[in-house]
Chains A and B, each alone.
Chain A
Amino acid sequence: MDDILLQILNGLDKGSAYALITLGLTLIFGTLGVVNFAHGSLFMLGAFVAVIVRKIMMISSVTLDPTRTNFLGKPLEIKTTYIEQWFGSFGTWMIDYSVPIAVLVAIPVMMLVGFVMERGLIKHFYHRPHADQILVTFGLAIVLQEIVKKFFGANAIPQAAPEAASGALDIGVWLGFAENAVIYPEWRLIYFFFAVAVIAAVFSFLRFTTFGMVVRAGMVDRETVGLLGININRRFTLMFGIAAAVTGMAGVMYAPILSPNYHMGMDFLVLTFVVVVVGGMGSLPGAVLAGFMLGILESFASMNEVKSILPGIDQIIIYLVAIIILLVRPRGLMGKAGVMED
């Protein structure tokens, strides 16, 4: 029983990441009808926002301490970050909390990235075939990845979670299991709750605001909404920005779990598309459900008991599920009729 709970928990953080990225992808797809292969790059850019924020915070002045020497016998260089000089202990606190602060930074930054992407490139591809959309965004993904590689190098850059959240929790004890049976890193739990909060925010935004109502109407019938005198394109552009922000935030918060590297976008991209088709193209609840489901399934498949029966299953379970679902239930779990089927 505690094994099962542990596997569910283990699957949650990856599932949360899948769910958030897929949510962004589905928002773009559902509103603008564009298949965005550069979506993984948005996730990667988000993670690098965390890297940049930390780098900026760590800019330091160097003072020499003549009383002490380093191993070369020269006066010891002491680096103090400007942020600590200016704000004192509050500065130290800010450096510690660089990842959550980066989330706040990421929202405007990623929205801007989304706007530029939509207005600058994707806008011109609405009336071109889906294959062209895939190809041009695939090219964009390569370009973004190479730019990041140019500036940050090919190695992963580890990011630390805040001190207060970097420990592990013994969740099993709360639920009446033995001690040390179910131990779970705090940050992953935070990631899960963060994901739930963002998903809830996106859904309630679409559900309870006038803006969201118009967007939902536009998703159903874009032309009629346009005929009613509403500038639906502008709202869809904003939705692209929101989708980029959601994906970017997912990337920022994931930085302490997976050290940001330039190819993480491509790595997640394939899985994200698989999640989308499992959930059903264009269905937001389907995307979230499939994201969590596949994350948890993946973690169950990596249990030793399962692996001993079906070796290698942990590597392919997601693809296998996708293939079966696409063949048995072509529209995915919650897909609607008529999406991408013309």
Chain B
Amino acid sequence: MLKLKNNDTALFLAFCVMVLAGPIILAPLGAGYPDLLQRFAIFGIFAVGYNILFGLTGYLSFGHAAFLGVGSYSAVWMFKLLSMNIIPGIILAVILSGIFALLIGFITLRRSGIYFSILTLAFAQMSYSLAYSVLTPITNGETGLQIHLADPRILDTKSTDGSLPSTNLFGLEMNDTWRTTLFGMDLQFNVGFYVSAILLILCFYLSIRIFRSPFGLMLRAVKTNQNRLMYTGVNTKPYLLTAFVISGMYAGLAGGLLAAMDPLAGAERMQWTESGTVVLMTILGGTGTLLGPVFGAGAIKYFENIFSKVNDSVLAGWFNFMPDWMTDTMVFLLGPFFGKGWHLTLGLVFMAVVIFLPGGLMEGASKIANLFGKRKNKGSVDSTGTPAE
């Protein structure tokens, strides 16, 4: 039915269940609230898309945040001009970021290796600077693009109660949440999350199909040895460009969704550190694996939102079974890594992953699985190959 092999079908179905049951699974971890769940799904899309470029071809792009930003801006413009229905916004976000990716990719893919990284970095920084300065009429500069009551919104009926309309999907508002309690846990099922989750599942399905297709095989051949491929008479450029545009469109979709959940767009979404984050997500989860990027995105967003809220007093609460002086020592020792210092922990974890586990969390998981004698192969592709240079 899905045109997948048995293994992949199982993986895909497991993934669907996992994502759709997200609010239930993540509630015990304290991550079951809509805002964070939406981010899990959206950045999952971003990372899955990035993985199609980096994981398959080994081209390390440091400029994908630009597409995220383009997606956000175009979605907000649609909300301003056409309708608060998210469909036109998201469609435009994907199309525009695709075009943008086509232009940038056409130029940057003339070089490979570190030059490609620096070129993409330069383009992204350029878009960021322009969004801040000259393009202010389009991007609203530092304030960021917001929706106003006075915007035309030609497809919508004018709101009369004087409050800003919220984004919706044919009347279903994105911030609608159905709450219930189960075993004392507060479960929140949010429309916005399910919209993102369904798109994530679609994107994930597409990514499996790409990984298993002749096209994906060609991309992996580029990663393994581009020169040899060229000697056999294959022009690799169209394949690379397609991969670049696809991953740019994924990023645009993620940007559009970000705007759909919270209708504003700012230039800081295009900064190169944001591109760095998606690289971190992909590497952390496992480059070139199917599930890895989603897990990586989840892990980083979880860190960002949960880890950063653990302050010294919470820490002291964890250790208060110990004698006082030991509690104080533990808080003193661990304090810098929690709360505001979560970036430090992130950096250290990331370094540890690159040094010891180049395959990311997925490799770690399969190593542990092998340790217990179970041969569990979670659809991992060759993750040890060297990237193209």
CB <8 Å contact, B60 and A273: no
- Neighbour of B347 across the interface among A121, A143, A312, CB < 8 A: A143
Q: B230 on the interface (CB 8 Å rule)? A: no
CB <8 Å contact, A270 and B119: no
- Neighbour of B279 across the interface among A135, A311, A315, A342, CB < 8 A: A135
Nearest Cβ on chain B to A25's Cβ, whole angstroms: 12
CA distance A127 to B40 in the complex (A): 35
Decide: A146 near B121, CB < 8 A? Known: A135-B354, A136-B355.
no
CA distance A132 to B113 in the complex (A): 12
Decide: A132 near B126, CB < 8 A? Known: A146-B343, A150-B336.
no
- Neighbour of A142 across the interface among B115, B125, B336, B350, CB < 8 A: B350
- Contact pattern, B 327-367, Cβ under 8 Å of A = 1, otherwise 0: 00000000010000101101110110011001000000000
CA distance A274 to B111 in the complex (A): 14
Q: B273 on the interface (CB 8 Å rule)? A: yes
Decide: A139 near B130, CB < 8 A? Known: A150-B341, A323-B107.
no
Contacting A at CB under 8 A, from B109-144, are 110-111, 113-115, 117-119, 121-123, 125-126, 129-130, 132-135
CA distance A27 to B41 in the complex (A): 43
Nearest Cβ on chain A to B388's Cβ, whole angstroms: 9
Report 6 cross-chain contacts, Cβ distance below 8 Å, ordered by A residue: A129-B386, A141-B347, A143-B344, A150-B336, A323-B123, A326-B111
Neighbouring B residues of A131 by C-beta, 8 Å: 58, 60, 386-387, 389
Q: Looking across the interface, which residue of chain A has its beta carbon closest to that of B121?
A: A270
Q: Looking across the interface, which residue of chain B has its beta carbon closest to that of A274?
A: B122
Q: A234 on the interface (CB 8 Å rule)? A: no
Q: Looking across the interface, which residue of chain B has its beta carbon closest to that of A322?
A: B122
CA distance A284 to B100 in the complex (A): 35
Q: A68 on the interface (CB 8 Å rule)? A: no
CA distance A150 to B342 in the complex (A): 11
Decide: A140 near B351, CB < 8 A? Known: A134-B114, A270-B125, A316-B126.
yes
Q: B218 on the interface (CB 8 Å rule)? A: no
Chain B residues close to A by CB (< 8 Å): 58, 60, 107, 110-111, 113-115, 117-119, 121-123, 125-126, 129-130, 132-135, 272-273, 276, 279, 283, 336, 341, 343-344, 346-348, 350-351, 354-355, 358, 386-387, 389
Nearest Cβ on chain B to A131's Cβ, whole angstroms: 4
| Total A-B Cβ pairs within 8 A | 115
CB <8 Å contact, B129 and A327: no
Q: Looking across the interface, which residue of chain A has its beta carbon closest to that of B113?
A: A340
Q: A341 on the interface (CB 8 Å rule)? A: yes
CB <8 Å contact, A132 and B129: no
CB <8 Å contact, A330 and B121: no
Decide: A140 near B121, CB < 8 A? Known: A129-B389, A266-B273.
no
CB <8 Å contact, B347 and A140: yes
Neighbouring B residues of A281 by C-beta, 8 Å: 114
CB <8 Å contact, B341 and A319: no
Neighbouring A residues of B273 by C-beta, 8 Å: 266
Chain A residues close to B by CB (< 8 Å): 35, 121, 124, 128-132, 134-136, 138-143, 145-147, 150, 266, 270, 273-274, 277, 281, 311-312, 315-316, 319-320, 322-323, 326-327, 330, 340-342
Decide: A312 near B130, CB < 8 A? Known: A134-B114, A322-B122, A323-B122.
yes
CB <8 Å contact, A312 and B344: no
Nearest Cβ on chain B to A124's Cβ, whole angstroms: 7
Neighbouring B residues of A270 by C-beta, 8 Å: 121-122, 125, 272
Neighbouring A residues of B386 by C-beta, 8 Å: 129, 131
Neighbouring A residues of B134 by C-beta, 8 Å: 311-312, 315
CB <8 Å contact, B389 and A277: no
Q: Looking across the interface, which residue of chain B has its beta carbon closest to that of A311?
A: B134
Decide: A142 near B347, CB < 8 A? Known: A129-B387, A150-B336.
yes
CB <8 Å contact, B351 and A274: no
Nearest Cβ on chain B to A328's Cβ, whole angstroms: 11
The residue among B134, B283, B354, B389 with the most chain A CB atoms within 10 A of its own CB is B354
- Neighbour of B346 across the interface among A135, A142, A316, CB < 8 A: A142
Neighbouring A residues of B119 by C-beta, 8 Å: 322-323, 326
Nearest Cβ on chain A to B275's Cβ, whole angstroms: 11
CA distance A140 to B107 in the complex (A): 30
- Neighbour of B341 across the interface among A130, A146, A326, CB < 8 A: A146
The residue among A121, A281, A311, A326 with the most chain B CB atoms within 10 A of its own CB is A326
Q: Top 5 nearest A-B pairs by Cβ distance?
A: A312-B134, A142-B347, A315-B129, A139-B351, A146-B344
CB <8 Å contact, B122 and A330: no
Neighbouring A residues of B346 by C-beta, 8 Å: 142
CA distance A321 to B273 in the complex (A): 22
Nearest Cβ on chain A to B123's Cβ, whole angstroms: 7
